[in-house]
Amino acid sequence: MDSVRSDRPGSARRVPLALKILIAGGFGAGKTTLVGAVSEIRPLQTEEVLTDAGIGTDDLDGVEGKTTTTVAMDFGRISINDDLQVYLFGTPGQDRFWFLWDELAFGALGAVVLADTRRLADCFPSVDYFERRGTPFVVAVNCFEGAQRFGTDAVRGALDLDSDVPVVLCDARSRQSGKGVLVRLVEHVAARRGMTVSAN
Ligand SMILES: Nc1nc2c(ncn2[C@@H]2O[C@H](COP(=O)(O)OP(=O)(O)OP(=O)(O)O)[C@@H](O)[C@H]2O)c(=O)[nH]1
Ligand SMILES: [Mg+2]
């Protein structure tokens, strides 16, 4: 994962390596929140207001304060270090937008699957999707207040994850916490490729 250096004479400008990472997970797991929290640029969001038409389709248990939902994607960017920039693509959480996933996943280095332990089953489709594609992923448990805390081993067991898939706890509203999740993913991808990376 070397960064590219300009080969112009006298130029020492380093061009950082850019990676694409998906932020996936079930409806209301905190994907848009995470992309917004970690992004250095104003994130691109495609939020639409949840209306009565979604009653019976949009399960708001645990996220009753939620007023909008992502209808296409979130987009943000974060620098992990001087040599590495990550472009973040948040997926829409609802089944009716599955047709977008292949486009969003194209060229992705890896994915974060956000999980809410109150609705753990909602992240099964994301886990299945990345397992089928062979896309490396980490599961990040978004620790909503009031949600019963489960250890990472309990979540691993409940999702029947392979032993090498990292499971981490996070707060999707925290830049530092979100950045930690991304670093863990990059380390996981690097380890699978027999490389090491440093976040410093
Ligand atoms: N208390 C708490 N609220 C959170 C946390 N993360 C997200 N929220 C709130 O939970 C709601 C859902 O967050 P979103 O970021 O919209 O979730 P999403 O996964 O993008 O949702 P969809 O795109 O509709 O699938 C919002 O009201 C957030 O403010 C968290 O860690 N703790
Ligand atoms: Mg969203």
* Tens-digit pLDDT profile for residues 82-119: 888 999 999 998 888 999 999 999 999 999 999 999 89
Angstrom distance (rounded) from CA 163 to CA 65: 35
Q: The tokens of 137 are what?
A: 């992923």
Ligand nearest to the CA of 25: 1
Cβ of 28 below 6 Å from ligand 1 = yes
Tokens of residue 43, six digits: 């994130």
Ligand 1 pocket, residue 23 CB under 6 Å: no
Residue 123 has which token pair? Answer: 């992240």
Buried b (16+ CB within 10 A) or exposed e, 93-124: bbeebeeebeebbeebbbbbbbbbbebbebbe
Strand 17-25 and strand 110-115: pairing? parallel
Q: Tell how strand 137-142 and strand 167-170 pair up.
A: parallel
What's the pLDDT at 48?
93
- pLDDT of residue 80 exceeding 70: yes
Query: Cα angle vertex 44, ends 41, 50, to 5°?
Result: 140
- Calculate how far, in angstroms, residue 161's C-alpha sits from the geometric centre of ligand 2: 24
CB 55 within 8 A of CB 61: no
Residue 30 pLDDT:
96
Tell me if 93 CB under 6 Å of ligand 1: yes
Burial 18-27 (b: 16+ CB within 10 A, else e): ebbbbbbbbb
Q: Considering the entire predicted model, what is its pTM?
A: 0.90
* 194: pLDDT strictly greater than 60: yes
